[in-house]
Every structure is written in structure tokens, then in C-alpha cells.
Amino acid sequence: MTATKGLEGIVAAASSISSIVDGVLTYRGYNIDDLAQNASFEEVAYLLWFGKLPNDAELKQLQQDLSNEATIPDEVIQQMKSYPKDTNTMAALRSAVSALALYDGEADDMSREANERKAVRLQAKLPTVIAALARIREGKEPVAPLAGVSIAENFLYMLRGEKPDEVSVKALDQALVLHADHELNASTFAARVTVATLSDIYSGVTSAIGALKGPLHGGANEAVMKMLNEIGSIENVEPYIMNKLENRDKIMGFGHRVYKNGDPRAKHLQKMSRELGEMKGDTQLYDMSVKIDDLVTSQKGLRPNVDFYSASVYTQLGINHELFTPIFAISRVSGWTAHILEQYENNRIIRPRAEYVGQTDQKYVPVEQRA
């Protein structure tokens, strides 16, 4: 046996949910460009769960189900209020999602029908949990979800306490579509490993959130925003980036293990960043991002990934950087739960081997004889 570092290039599962072939990302065979330009996030969630785009009646039923399940138990809100104010937001989200299982009477029902209902429940409740966490941290009371609106609109409403404008809703909805699934990424693999033991769907999603918390996975867009804040103005971009490159420092938001010619999602977020900046009459973040993009691409041959422009998009939506990764989870829970459902359907416990590289032929020596 020979180990492959990071399991790079290893095919660890067969899946019909999403694919990345020759730099093209598809969900159930639909090109991400087609979906990003035309589909709502709710349509994409249905596609990931059920393998087809919904008809009008199916979409309306899903929208109703999501609306009905958007509230969270008062006990979970009280628990969130007890968290330390400086708690990492992803750590708080991980704890709150785990707690949701305690108030779900179907938590341990492993039937396909119950797990589909729990997938909808998790998708509906994550935006409410995250908005509540943000408001509690600011010393405000959580805002109850609206009935009959999209996940994107509801999240912005619960976060701000007022109805958002259509451009902001459209931008967030498209961002959710772009982040919904990404084949066997770290958090999805973590979810599948957990539920392959026949643990419950909440355990799988909690594992996924734990993996997404890491800065090499979901936290990269926060690091991009931190970099933009450090640079401060477009005049500082070139000296800052050139200094980073000369010191061989990692520049977050560039490069991707499975994309050699650029992340196909990045262009949609770049366009979104420009449109939001123009709408607000301030394109500084967009202009800085483009200049960084040009420098890193020309100097290193690295192209931006999905995290790079999402940082400026979320900031222009008035979203604090601490919520960037949790918003990723709002979208990706659709993919996580789709993979969990698929894992349950054709399950075998995931148990790879390790290449042993330690000492051999060791002999036991009594403790009094050891050096």
C-alpha cells in the first residue's frame, strides 16, 4: 500500500450528484453556468435531493415546506444566548445544529421519507440559526422568519430586521446556487464518512460543519476580506501583493486542487461584485479585487476560486465577515444532505487503510530497564 497525501486523485465514492470534468462543474448533469443564470436556489436544492428540476407544483410544495420549517425551537435560541459573545461563529453553528436534533422527533428515523423531511428541515432552519446567532452577538433579539419568501430573502430579512432590496436578494440567491455542491470536497466527505456508520443526518451535517470551519476549506473567503481590509486602497494593491509574492506567502482565494484553468464559479461572483458596487456607487472593493486578480494571475499563473470574489459580494451585501463561512453552510447543506441521502441508499462503512511508516520489530523492555 502506498499513501496519497490528502487522498489527491483517489476516487473514494460513486455519485450522481455533481461532477467536475475538464474544469466544468455540473449538478445532476446541468452546467453550473446554466443554473447560476436561470435557476433559483430552491430549484437547485430540489435538483440535488431528488435528481430532477421540480415542476411548478413540486417547487411550490418545497417552498411551502421550507417556509413551514424555518422556525427554530425556543430552547435552541436560549442555548445560543448562553454562548460566550466571542465564540467562533462556526463553532456556535456546529453546536446549534447538533442541538436541533434533540427537538426533532424523527431524528433517529432512518427511513428515506424521514431523511428527506430532515433534509428540508435542516435547509430551512440553518438560515434562521445563523441570523439569530448574528443578532444575539450584536445584543439584539432574533427576528422570526417571514412566510412565503425565498431562503435568500428570508435570511437577509432576519439578519437586518427589514425587507431587503431585489438586487441584494438576487445576488445572494445566485451565490447560494454557486456554493450548493462541489463533488467530494472535505466537508461533504466528512458527512459521508459519519453517516456511513449509519449515524443520523444531524450527526453528518454537524461533522460537515466542523470540516467547513477550517480556513483551508470554508474560511478562505474571510481571509480574502481580511486581506482587502489590510490593503485598504487600490494604490496599495501592487506593493502589498508583490511583497506577498516575493516572500512566497499564500494569497487566499487563488488556486484550486481540481481546477487547473480557473474556477467556473468565480466569473459569476465577479460580475455580482461589480453590479453591487455600481448599485451602491462604490466600486473600490471590486476594483481592488480585479487588480489583485490580474497581478496574481500574471505573476503566478493562479486564477481566483469561488472564495475570492464572494468576499466582496458578501461585504457589499452588508454582511459581517464572521458570517461568510456560515453563509457557505446555508448553501452547502443542500449538497451535504443530498450526499447523505445517496450514502444511505447504497451504504458501506467508509474505512480506508493507512500506509504504516513507523518503527518495526520493537521489543518490550520492563520499565525499570528503560533509559
* Residue 168 covered by a domain: yes
**Do 196 and 138 sit in the same domain of this protein?**
yes
Q: Do 307 and 325 have their domain in common?
A: no
- Residue 353 inside a domain? The answer is no
Q: Give domain status of residue 263, yes or no.
A: yes
**Residues 47 and 193 occupy one common structural domain:** yes
Catalytic residue among 179, 182, 256, 339: 256
What are the tens digits of pLDDT across the range 4-26? Answer: 888 888 889 999 999 999 889 99
Percentage above 90 pLDDT, the chain: 88
What are the pLDDT digits (tens) for 20-68?
A: 998 899 999 999 999 999 999 999 999 999 999 999 999 999 999 999 9
Tens digit of each residue's pLDDT (9 = 90 or more) over 125-164: 999 999 999 999 999 999 999 999 999 999 999 999 999 9
Per DSSP, the residues of 2-20 read: ---GGGTT------SSEEE
pLDDT band at 174 (very low <50, low <70, confident <90, very high): very high
For residue 62, being part of any structural domain is answered with yes
- CA separation, residue 21 to residues 26, 31, 39, 95, 259 (Å): 9, 11, 21, 36, 9
Q: Is the same domain home to 341 and 270?
A: no
Same domain, yes or no: 89 and 179: yes
3-state secondary structure 66-112: HHHCCCCCHHHHHHHHHCCCCCCHHHHHHHHHHHHHHHCCCCCCCCH
* CA distance linking residue 106 with residue 334, whole number of Å: 19
94 and 180 housed in the same domain: yes
Give the Cα separation of 125 and 310 in Å (integer): 23
Count of domains observed in the chain:
2
Which grid coordinates belong to 126? 440553518
For 71-100, write each residue's pLDDT tens digit: 999 999 999 999 998 999 999 999 999 999
Q: What is the pLDDT of residue 2?
A: 79
Does 41 share its domain with 160?
yes
Band of residue 177 on the pLDDT scale cut at 50, 70, 90: very high
Which CATH number covers residue 60?
1.10.580.10
CATH of the domain at 258: 1.10.230.10
Whether residue 362 is contained in a domain is answered as: no
The stretch 187-194 carries a mean pLDDT of 98
Please say whether the beta carbons of 287 and 250 come within 8 A. Answer: no
Residue 33 annotated as catalytic: no
User: One of 104, 181, 293, 307 is an active-site residue; which one?
Assistant: 307
**Which residue, chain included where needed, has cell 421540480?**
54
pLDDT at position 256: 79
Cell triple for 80: 445560543
Q: What's the confidence (pLDDT) of residue 219?
A: 80
**To which residue does cell 455540473 refer?**
26
DSSP designation for 265: T
Q: What is the chain's Cα-based Rg?
A: 22
* 295 part of a folded domain: yes
Range of the domain at 181: 13-214+321-345
Quick check: is 56 catalytic? Answer: no
Is residue 169 situated within a structural domain? yes
Residues 190 and 65 in one domain: yes
pLDDT digit string (tens) for 287-330?
A: 999 999 999 999 998 999 888 999 999 999 999 999 999 999 99
Q: What digits encode the pLDDT tens for the residues 235-245?
A: 999 999 999 99
Write down the pLDDT at residue 197: 98
Residue 50 CB-density burial (10 A; 0-12 exposed, 13-18 middle, 19+ buried): middle
Same domain for 333 and 207?
Answer: yes
**159 with 301, same domain?**
no
The SS3 of residue 308 is helix
> Does 284 lie in the same domain as 154?
no
On whether both 123 and 101 belong to a single domain, the answer is yes
Task: Report CA torsion sign: 336, 337, 339, 344.
Answer: positive
- Tell me if 357 is assigned to some domain: no
